[in-house]
Amino acid sequence: MSPGASGLLLAYPAFIAIGLPDGALGIAWPSMRDAFALPQSGLALVTRLLR
């Protein structure tokens, strides 16, 4: 396997792993907000705490 291909195989899952939590939070936030009776601005606090 060439060095470029192995780098690509490493970079692609890393890219997905880094982006997945933000995407999942964006999908889950509306139901989490309703369940805990939080304001929409609470997403900013949650995002800051996760980073």
pLDDT of residue 43: 86
Q: How far apart are CA 49 and CA 25, in angstroms?
A: 12
pLDDT of residue 31: 92
pLDDT of residue 39: 92
Q: What is 1-51 written as a DSSP string? A: --HHHHHHHHHHHHHHHHHHHHHHHHHHHHHHHHHHT--TTHHHHHHHHH-
State pLDDT tens for residues 1-51. Answer: 777 788 888 898 988 888 787 778 888 889 989 999 989 888 888 888 877
pLDDT of residue 35: 94
> Is residue 45 within 8 Å of 24, Cβ to Cβ?
no
pLDDT of residue 37: 92
Instruction: Confirm whether pTM is higher than 0.85.
Output: no
> Is residue 50 within 8 Å of 24, Cβ to Cβ?
no
